[in-house]
Structure 1
Amino acid sequence: MNFYALIPAAGSGSRMGGAIEKQYMDLNSVPMIAHAMMVLAREPRLSKIFVVLSPTDKRWNNYAWQGWEERIEVLRCGGTTRAETVLNGLQAMSNICAADDWVLVHDAARPCLPDDMLGKLLDEVADDPVGGLLAVPVADTLKRAAADTSNGARAEATVPRAGLWQAQTPQMFRHGKLVEALRAAGSDMTDEASAIEQLGLQPRLVESDSRNLKVTYPQDLELAGLILGKLNE
């Protein structure tokens, strides 16, 4: 049994509104994706890190990814959605990965994954029959917006938060089962656990915290920089 990581990095990050793709935006003097790769590369149990790029990506070769050459393999087979990119990457990995090998899918836009959280995921899920993911129990009160937005967004109801968790990455599943799940689910899945759930399986939730944020909007970049500064002290 081996452990591999897969980083889907074929998107444009349109909500960031930048001139370049989100994964290449500068974060503490290096591209954002470099931080995601660094924490994975420090974990000795991971045999290889696969980065799935768009076939038309022209920025990757502009950077010197020094020190990681032996740990990283680039796959230029990204699709138009996250699910397509992950599935294409998994299929391209199939000449290396066995069906029972673990694959940890991690967002390029989650640059602040603490080392101990990654280790905790591996420790708790390695013997799980289904797989699992990092997640955070929802603490805030949740509101459902009304469908009619002609007079601005209006709260229609309060959603009970008991039992609700916010999904993060990495999400860790067996290679063969994840391929099966994504093929069955279609291209609109926003995370791997959703596809696994559609097979009738229940992924394990491994408690994480808010440091492992996803950079989605411009203001998130500043916060990520501050978190990385504290993690690297």
Structure 2
Amino acid sequence: MTLVCALIVAAGRGHRFGGELPKQYAMLAGRPVLRHAIESFSRHPEIGKILVVIHPDDRDLYADAVTGLDLPEPALGGATRQDSVRRGLEQLAESKPGKVLIHDAARPFVPESVISTVIGTLDRAVGAIAALPVVDSLKRGTEGVITEAVAREGLWRAQTPQAFLYPEILAAHQACSTGSDAAGGLTDDAAVARAAGHSVELVEGATETFKVTTAEDLARAERWLNSTSLETRTGSGFDVHRFGTGDFVTLCGIEIPHSSGLQGHSDADVGLHALTDAILGALSAGDIGQHFPPSDPQWKGADSALFLRHALEMVTARGGRFVHCDVTLICEAPKVGPHRAAMIERIAGILQCSPERVNVKATTTERLGFTGRGEGIAAQATASLLLPSSPPGQEER
């Protein structure tokens, strides 16, 4: 079976974007632009491998952006985009792909239908790119004054992904000069393929696959996310664990010294268990016990972050995104307040969101009930998600 790879190019500096971070790491709806782009391809059933090309100075930014994703070590980019793509293609050689899709990290939204179309076109062509026909009138001007009209017939706006048979595009890039992208008019991978004598087909792209180049583009991307056919889902979770032997408890991913431990088949993190159930509830996907049965020995002593990450991966697979959560820990002891900030940071890290989207608080039951008697700890949680009302990639355009 032919391996189809996605090569996501994220080595640029984005000087026109401004700000402290390269645009591919700017936050869009609580997640980096790059992560949105990666997830567009990770959801597609035909994509077998994703490789990201990054700037050598961005290792830490990249690691934060892809936390929880199963990706190979990134390729390190070169001085120009052509250099970066070539290096990425060469790193893919050991995987022996048959087809490769080259995509700009600054284009966060790629419908599944576009990915499917460019892949399918390679059954009859060496290359295919997503593009949109030009519909506006075009003018050529000098110093702000129109000098002539330009015919728009036959003109297309090139987008990515640009898809190619792997051996052919690798050879084409290796044959190119490693100078400026603009040298010889080779402004994209389609130009590189054509310079090598290959024919490249045009397939219709999508209006939402625009490139984030400026801060205004990022604001447009936020508006687009908010205007698509997404619906808000809210779920709730509740969990209880009794005290047993031990000298610490794990709450919301943080180990807290205590006179007793919590009993449970995993690490008994009552906070993360309740939050996992809340996300599963918003997905209408049952409860944590269905996905991680307590009778299964592989989960004995397991870090409950695994369960929460699994729930987040299910959200991503549905084309949705996490919005907010609120966790309440119910106990007389230990004191939660001194650890609350660390808990919020830990949850935000697992869910790949900003800490402003996470709330953790604690309360007592005024010494009533089992928590009041110090027999255990309870937790309740709510989680809000945005989920497509139609399958990913089939939204109205």
Q: TM-score, normalised by structure 2?
A: 0.53
Q: Give the number of aligned pairs.
A: 222
**Conservation of the 8 A alpha-carbon contact between 1:25 and 1:31:** yes
The match for 2:151 is 160
**Conservation of the 8 A alpha-carbon contact between 2:127 and 2:193:** no
Matches within 5 A, 1:84-163: 84-98=83-97, 101-123=98-120, 125-146=121-142, 152-163=143-154
Give the 4+ runs in structure 1 shifted more than 3 A.
none
Counterpart pick for 2:191 among 168, 189, 194: 194
**Conservation of the 8 A alpha-carbon contact between 1:135 and 1:167:** yes
Give the letter aligned to residue 59 of structure 1. Answer: L
RMSD of aligned residue pairs (Cα, Å):
1.6
1:178 aligns with 2:169: yes
**Conservation of the 8 A alpha-carbon contact between 2:24 and 2:33:** yes
**Conservation of the 8 A alpha-carbon contact between 2:33 and 2:105:** yes
Question: Once the 2 structures are TM-superposed, how far is the Cα of residue 171 of structure 1 from its aligned partner?
Answer: 0.3
Q: Answer 1 or 2: higher relative contact order, Cα 8 Å, separation at least 6.
A: 1
Question: Once the 2 structures are TM-superposed, how far is the Cα of residue 64 of structure 1 from its aligned partner?
Answer: 5.2
Partner SS for 2:12? coil
Question: Once the 2 structures are TM-superposed, how far is the Cα of residue 104 of structure 1 from its aligned partner?
Answer: 0.2
Task: Quote the Cα distance in structure 2 between the aligned partners of 1:47 and 1:209.
Answer: 23
Task: Quote the Cα distance in structure 1 between the aligned partners of 2:117 and 2:195.
Answer: 25
The match for 1:36 is 37
Partner SS for 1:46? coil
**Conservation of the 8 A alpha-carbon contact between 1:52 and 1:74:** no
**Conservation of the 8 A alpha-carbon contact between 1:9 and 1:53:** yes
Task: Quote the Cα distance in structure 1 between the aligned partners of 2:38 and 2:63.
Answer: 16
Task: Quote the Cα distance in structure 2 between the aligned partners of 1:3 and 1:141.
Answer: 38
Question: Once the 2 structures are TM-superposed, how far is the Cα of residue 208 of structure 1 from its aligned partner?
Answer: 1.6
| C-alpha distance after superposition, 1:166-224 (max 9, x if no partner) | 10000000121112222233241321001111123221111123111111111111111
**Conservation of the 8 A alpha-carbon contact between 1:53 and 1:74:** no
Partner SS for 1:225? helix
Q: TM-score, normalised by structure 1?
A: 0.89
| C-alpha distance after superposition, 1:115-164 (max 9, x if no partner) | 222222223x1312312010000101112233xxxxx3333222111001
Task: Quote the Cα distance in structure 1 between the aligned partners of 2:77 and 2:106.
Answer: 16
**Which stretch of the first structure deviates more once superposed, 34-43 or 194-203?**
194-203
**Which stretch of the first structure deviates more once superposed, 158-167 or 201-210?**
201-210
The match for 2:67 is 65
Question: Once the 2 structures are TM-superposed, how far is the Cα of residue 93 of structure 1 from its aligned partner?
Answer: 1.2
**Conservation of the 8 A alpha-carbon contact between 1:112 and 1:227:** no
Where do 5+ consecutive residues of structure 2 fail to align? 231-387, 389-397
| C-alpha distance after superposition, 1:99-120 (max 9, x if no partner) | xx10000111111112222222
Task: Quote the Cα distance in structure 1 between the aligned partners of 2:74 and 2:64.
Answer: 16
Task: Quote the Cα distance in structure 1 between the aligned partners of 2:11 and 2:192.
Answer: 20
Paired-residue identity, %: 36
In structure 2, relative to structure 1, the CA distance for the partners of 1:9 and 1:231 (3 Å cut) is farther
Task: Quote the Cα distance in structure 1 between the aligned partners of 2:222 and 2:132.
Answer: 21
**Conservation of the 8 A alpha-carbon contact between 1:103 and 1:175:** yes
Task: Quote the Cα distance in structure 2 between the aligned partners of 1:200 and 1:13.
Answer: 31
**Conservation of the 8 A alpha-carbon contact between 1:131 and 1:204:** yes
| C-alpha distance after superposition, 1:23-70 (max 9, x if no partner) | 00010110000110011000111111000112222311234522x21x
Question: Once the 2 structures are TM-superposed, how far is the Cα of residue 18 of structure 1 from its aligned partner?
Answer: 1.5
In structure 2, relative to structure 1, the CA distance for the partners of 1:64 and 1:130 (3 Å cut) is closer
**Conservation of the 8 A alpha-carbon contact between 1:114 and 1:231:** no
Give the letter aligned to residue 44 of structure 2. Answer: E
1:218 aligns with 2:220: no
1:11 aligns with 2:8: no
Partner SS for 2:48? strand
Give the letter aligned to residue 28 of structure 2. Answer: L
